[in-house]
Chains A and B, each alone.
Chain A
């Protein structure tokens, strides 16, 4: 499998109030093209920082970061980012918000209008293009943020707890929606985007991912890297399966350092 992201012994230090603090240490990780990988870990384990290092938004102190075969030394333009908050511009319509990356990247937004409308349709926001963000619910705003991330059709999606601020019901809906938009049903592995997904929720990580990377805090290290062999497309029923439960438990054990059964799925 061709890898899209390669991290080799990546470490990150920052200056704290009382001397240097290690945020990340010895992170070696490869993510294949078209793979859906989740990072789970407790608060302060550096998973969001890791996401920003991959995007080229923060420099790694040591180690090398490669995205699509190129060493990352500055922001990677070919990436879609989704954050915990929708971060939409309050004064722009939903459609104009979705078109923002085109303007920022120096492309002609008029030529991408059709694609933006198509993305909004796909995300269930047909007819909401001229609304202002505050007229939409939190879940709908986050869908618009996803459309914005997809506008320039980047091969890589970096998602930082994108559903963290939503209620549990909306959250589960959005997970299914994300898989649909990702092309779980209608696209082959090669055509799918590579996703690096940060979350606090073990169940969410298992439901969505091909692999779940468990991180431990201070400094952030990789504690476990589990392959999720659940069949795709994932359905609501998957959540009730025994394999799903076992994987949840295995990740919980890896997070808490408990010794348990190895996953069999």
Chain B
């Protein structure tokens, strides 16, 4: 109860603002005479959110699967590239300029090429999400692996510890908070990438739902889809924040 009271004290401004916005939106639509296809009322969005005309479960699953795939791919490839860069100066010299170049490309503009190369499907959308989200992971992994006190490395050298052991016991745990911090950005980027991919080429997914509402002017469904997307995004982001608190509790305030 005291916990609930504490949460209430902390979050009543958030909830208050949210309620105020919802109320003014509803009033603007019903009393202000805004037409439904321009701005649907919160009530009709709420109805669309649960309405059986759109197979939400199926779209939600497709998009969630793409987002998780994109996230895992970005995290895996990002960490691997970061380790490669920190491991060998030769690899760093080879990889860094190339990765910077890839990162400066407007990744969204590559989506049509993905359609040509891979056709319709879940995988190209995953790839788009991973492409948008992997770069911060590479950089933060490499930085976290190298931000180790010189004295600590001397300690490793004094005992003639092999390089892999320094990585396993000192550098990688040191990089963990940096990696988790980057993964918060990746979580958001994975959502953007998956939706962009669906915009360009798909027959399923929440992004596809939004595209189809364009022709039918069914804006309440578009809004409902946006809400589902943000739910998936928030859950993933929350999971990363939780993982950071769980796995790197010593690192409060790294980001």
- Give A contacts to B, CB under 8 Å: 52, 55-57, 74-77, 79, 81, 83, 85, 87, 89-91, 100-101, 103-106, 132, 134
Distance in angstroms from B116 CB to nearest chain A CB is 47
How many angstroms between the C-alpha atoms of A119 and B163 in the bound complex? 28
Across the interface, do B149 and A75 meet the contact criterion of CB distance under 8 Å?
no
Chain A residues with CB under 8 A of B248:
91
A-B contact count (CB 8 A): 59
Selected interface stretch from B23-31, B124-132, B165-173, B197-205 = B165-173
Residues of chain B having any CB pair with chain A under 8 Å? 149, 151-152, 154-161, 165-166, 169-170, 173-174, 176, 248, 250-251
A85–B149 CB distance below 8 A: yes
If A81-B158, A91-B250 touch, whether A104 touches B169 (CB-CB below 8 Å) is yes
A177 to B187, CA, bound (A): 51
Contact of A76 among B158, B170, B251 (CB under 8 A): B158
Closest to A102 in B: B159
Could you say which of B151, B160, B166, B176 contacts A77, with CB atoms under 8 Å apart? B160
CB-based contact B160/A55 at 8 Å: no
Given the known inter-chain contacts A77-B159, A104-B165, A105-B161, please indicate yes or no for A87 contacting B152, CB distance below 8 A.
yes
Residues in chain B near residue A74, CB distance under 8 A: 160
Instruction: Tell whether, in the assembled complex, residue A75 and residue B160 are in contact, meaning their CB atoms are under 8 Å apart.
Output: yes
**Complexed CA–CA distance, A100 and B174 (Å):** 15
A83 neighbours in B (Cβ, 8 Å): 151, 154
Cβ–Cβ < 8 Å partners of B161 in chain A:
104-106
A106–B155 Cα distance when bound, in Å, is 14
Interface SS of B by simple majority:
helix
Q: Which of A85, A91, A104, A105 contacts B173 (CB 8 A)?
A: A91
Q: How far is the CB of B152 from chain A (nearest CB, A)?
A: 5
Residue from B154, B166, B176 having most chain A Cβ neighbours under 10 A: B154
B154 touches A104 (CB 8 A): no
A134 close to B159 (CB less than 8 A) = no
A132, B155: Cα distance in complex, Å: 20
Query: Measured between C-beta atoms, what is the minimum distance from B181 to chain A in Å?
Result: 15
Is B250 touching A90 in the complex (CB atoms < 8 A)? yes
Min CB distance, B235 to chain A, in Å? 27
- In Å, the complex CA distance between A103 and B151 comes to 17
- With A85-B149, A91-B248 as given contacts, are A103 and B169 in contact (CB-CB < 8 Å)? yes
- Provide a sorted-by-A list of 27 A–B residue pairs whose CB atoms are within 8 angstroms: A52-B154, A55-B158, A56-B158, A57-B154, A57-B158, A75-B157, A75-B158, A77-B159, A81-B154, A81-B158, A83-B151, A85-B149, A85-B151, A87-B151, A87-B152, A89-B152, A89-B169, A89-B174, A90-B250, A90-B251, A100-B155, A101-B159, A103-B165, A103-B169, A105-B160, A105-B161, A134-B250
List 9 extra interface pairs beyond A56-B158, A89-B152, CB under 8 A.
Answer: A76-B158, A81-B154, A85-B151, A87-B151, A87-B152, A90-B250, A101-B159, A104-B159, A134-B250
Question: Complex formed: what's the CA distance from A79 to B151 in Å?
Answer: 14
Smallest CB separation, B177 vs chain A (Å)? 9
Task: Report whether B155 and A79 are in contact in the complex, using a CB–CB cutoff of 8 Å.
Answer: no
Nearest opposing residue in chain B for A55, CB measure: B158
What's the minimum C-beta distance from A251 to chain B, rounded to whole angstroms? 27
Taking CB as reference atom, which chain A residue is nearest B162?
A106
Q: In the assembly, what is the distance between CA of A114 and CA of B154, in Å?
A: 26
- What residues of chain A lie closer than 8 Å to B155, measured between beta carbons? 81, 87, 100-101, 104
In the complex, are the beta carbons of B158 and A77 less than 8 A apart?
yes
A79 contacts B160, C-beta separation under 8 Å: no
Assess whether A105 is in contact with B159, with CB atoms less than 8 Å apart. Answer: yes
Q: Which residues of A contact B160 (CB under 8 A)?
A: 74-75, 77, 105
Q: Provide the bound-state CA to CA distance between A134 and B169, in Å.
A: 19
For the complex, give the distance between the alpha carbons of A76 and B157 in Å. 9
For the complex, give the distance between the alpha carbons of A89 and B165 in Å: 14
Q: A103-B165, A132-B250 are in contact. Are A89 and B158 (CB under 8 A)?
A: no
Among A81, A104, A132: residue with most chain B CB under 10 A = A104
Is B157 a contact partner of A57 (Cβ separation < 8 A)?
yes
Considering only CB atoms, which chain A residue lies closest to B173 in the complex? A91
**A132: B residues at CB distance < 8 A:** 250
B contact residues around A81 at 8 Å (CB): 151, 154-155, 158
Q: Contacts of A134 on B, CB cut-off 8 Å?
A: 250
B175 → A minimal CB distance (Å): 11
Query: In whole angstroms, how far apart are the Cα atoms of A103 and B156 in the complex?
Result: 10
- In this complex, what residue of B is CB-closest to A84? B151
Q: Across the two chains, which residue of chain B brings its CB closest to A105?
A: B159
Contacts of B169 in A (CB 8 A): 89, 100, 103-104
Docked complex Cα distance between A83 and B157 (Å): 14
The answer for the CA separation of A57 and B157 in the assembled complex, in Å, is 7
